Structure 1
Amino acid sequence: MTDISSSAEADPADVGRAVAGHTVLIAGATSAAGIAVASALTAAGAHVIAVGSNAARLDALTAQVPDAITRVCDLSSWPAVTALAASLRAETGHHGTSRDGAALGFGPIDGLIHLVGGWRGGGGLAGQSDDDWDFLHRNVVTTLRNTTRAFNADLLASPAGRLAIVSATAVDKPAPGGANYASAKAAAETWTRAVGQGFAKAAATAATDSTAPPSSAAAVIFVVRSLEGLETELAENVVGLWDADAASVNNTRVRLGA
C-alpha cells in the first residue's frame, strides 16, 4: 500500500473527463460528501447511481443532483445488495433519468465509491461499548464487504473499474476513546487492500495469458482527519481516478487535506 498526498485541482464541471460514460455507484450517497461526489461525477459525464437507506434523503439528493439515479437499499443486508446488483444489470446498455431508476437497466458498474460510515466513540477504552462496535462494524465494514463482493465481477470486467473508500488518520494513531472507530476503519482498509490485490493479480494474469480477460481495475483508500470541509477535494479526486492508469493508483492510500 503506497501512501501519497492528494494532487487534484478541483474543476468538477470539466466535462470530457475519462469517467464520462461510465456507471458509478455511490454507496451511502446522501451525506454532504456523497452529494459532492455525485455532483462532480455527473458534471464530468458519468452515470451516477446514488444508493442509500433513507428515501427522503435520496429525494433531497435528487433535488441537488437531478441527473443522478437513486436506489433505496439496506447495504448491510447481503440479500438486499445482491438484489440491487441484479436489478441494475437487468437491462444492460440503457441509462435513464427516472428518479427511482424503475424499469431502467445499467449493466455492470464501472465504479464503486463507498461512503457509508459514521462515528461512535469517547469515554476512553472503558467507553468502547458493544453497541457502538456493532454500529461501526455494520456501517463501515459490513456494507463494504457486501457491496464489493456483489460488484467485484463488474469492476474486474470493466475497462476501467474503480473502488474507493474513505478512511481516517485514526488508523495510523488510534486513541483509546476511538478504538472501536479506528479498528473498524482499519478493517475496512485491510478489506480494500485485499480487493486491490485481487485486481493486481487479475491484471498480471491478463498480461501473461492471452486467454485471460483483460483487467484494468484499481482500489484506492482516501484518508482524512475529518471529512468536513474536504467534500470538494474528495469529489475531484474521485473523478480523477479514471484519469489515471489503474496500475498507478491501485492499492494507494491518498491523504486529503494534507
Structure 2
Amino acid sequence: MNVAGRAVLLAGATSPSGLTIAQALVAAGARVIGVGRDRGRLDALAAAIGSDAIRVEQASLTDEAEVADLAARLADDDERIDGVVPLVGGWRGGGGLAGQSEEDYRALEGSFTTVRVVSRAFDAALRSSEAGRFAILSSTAVARPLAGGANYAAVKAASEAWTRAVAQGYAKAARDAEQPLHAAAVVLRVRSLDEVIDQVAARIVALWDADAAELNDRIIDVA
C-alpha cells in the first residue's frame, strides 16, 4: 500500500509547514483536504497546490460543532478520509517556571483541543478506511521538559497521551470486530519543525507504506 489515491485531511494547513506537507502528499499521488480558519490563506494554499489536487474547507478546528459539520459535509460528498494530520501548534515559553503564564498556556492549549476534536469527528471514517492514519506532530520536549517550556511540554504530552488512546481505540475496535487492524495512530516527535520539515513531510507520506499493526501506537523520532 501507499498514499497514492488516498484523501488526507490536514487540520491547520495554511502554515508554511502545511504547504510543505501538502506538496509532498500531492507529489505522492494523494488528494489533500486543507482545513483552516482564514479564507484568504486557504485560497492562497489552493492556488499554490492546484485546485485539482486539493480541496480547502473553512472551519475553526477547536469548535466541535464546526468540525462535526465539516465531517458530515465531506461524508455527504462521498469524500473518503484515509488520513488526518493536525498541524495547529505554536510556541510560547521562557522565563523559567515563574514565566509560564496561564495566558500562555491557554494559547497553547488550542492545539490539544484540535487533536481531541478532529480525532473524535473522524474516528469512524478512519476506522472504516482500508488504511486509516492519524498522526500528530509532537516535540522531544516531552521526553525532557524544561522549566522555561513547561506549558509547551505539558500540552504536547497531553496530545501524545490522547493519540495513544486513539491508537488503543483502533486496536480494540478491530479486535471486537474480529478483523485485521487497518487504522493506526502515530506520534511524530521533532526538536525543531522548521529544521526538519522536509523529513517530516516524507515521514507522513510513508505512513501508508507500512502495515497498520506495525505503526499503531508508535512514537517516532524524526531526525
For the aligned pair, the TM-score class normalised by the smaller chain equals over 0.9
Contact 1:33 1:234 in 2 (8 A): no
2:24 aligned residue: 40
Task: Give the CA deviation at 1:229.
Answer: 2.4
| 5+ long unaligned stretches in structure 2 | none
Structure 2 distance, partners of 1:144, 1:169, is: 18
Partner residue, 1:175: 146
Contact 2:18 2:87 in 1 (8 A): yes
Closer, same or farther in 2 for the Cα pair 1:253/1:191, shift >3 Å? same
Partner in structure 2 of residue 154 of structure 1: 125
1:121 Cα deviation from its structure 2 partner: 1.1
Alignment partner, residue 74 of structure 2: 88
2: CA distance between counterparts of 1:91 and 1:143? 23
Cα deviations by residue, 1:109-163 (Å, 9 ceiling, x for unpaired): 110011111111111111111111111111x210110000000000111100000
Q: Is structure 2 residue 216 aligned with structure 1 residue 245?
A: no
Find the counterpart in structure 1 of residue 107 from structure 2: 135
Structure 1: gaps (5+ residues): 1-16, 93-105
Identity %: 52
After TM superposition, give the deviation of residue 76 of structure 1 in Å.
0.6
Larger helix percent: 2
Of the three residues 81, 94, 119, the one matched with 1:122 is 94
| Contact 2:181 2:213 (C-alpha < 8 Å) held by counterparts | no
Amino acid at match of 1:36: T
1:228 aligns to what SS in structure 2?
helix
Deviation at 1:214, TM superposition (A): 5.3
Deviation at 1:203, TM superposition (A): 2.5
- 1:221 pairs, out of 187, 190, 211, with 187
Do the aligned residues in 2 keep the contact of 1:26 with 1:48 (CA within 8 Å)? yes
Q: Name which of 80, 96, 112 aligns with 2:84.
A: 112
Residue of structure 2 equivalent to 1:8: none
Aligned-partner residue type, residue 56 of structure 2 = T
Check whether the contact 1:157–1:215 (CA below 8 A) recurs between aligned residues.
no
SS at match of 1:89: helix
- Partner-residue secondary structure (3-state), 1:229: helix
Confirm or deny: 8 A CA contact 1:21 1:47 kept in the other structure.
yes
Q: Report the residue type matching 1:82 in the other structure.
A: A
Q: Please say if residues 157 and 214 of structure 1, whose CA atoms lie closer than 8 Å, have aligned partners that are also in contact.
A: no
CA RMSD, Structure 1 to Structure 2 (Å) = 1.3
The yes-or-no answer on 1:202 pairing with 2:202 is no
- Report how many residues are paired: 221
Q: Secondary structure at the match of 1:154?
A: helix
SS at match of 2:194: coil
Q: Is the 8 A contact 1:42 1:48 kept in 2?
A: yes
Secondary structure of 1:76's counterpart equals coil
Partners of 1:255 and 1:150 lie apart in 2 by 27
Q: Which residue number in structure 2 is paired with residue 188 of structure 1? A: 159
State the TM-score, normalized to the length of structure 2. 0.95
Mapped contact 1:52–1:74 kept (Cα < 8 A): yes
Alpha-carbon deviations, 1:1-45, whole Å to 9, x = none? Answer: xxxxxxxxxxxxxxxx71111111001111222111111111111
Distance 1:74 1:160 in 2: 26
**CA shift for structure 1 position 90:** 1.0
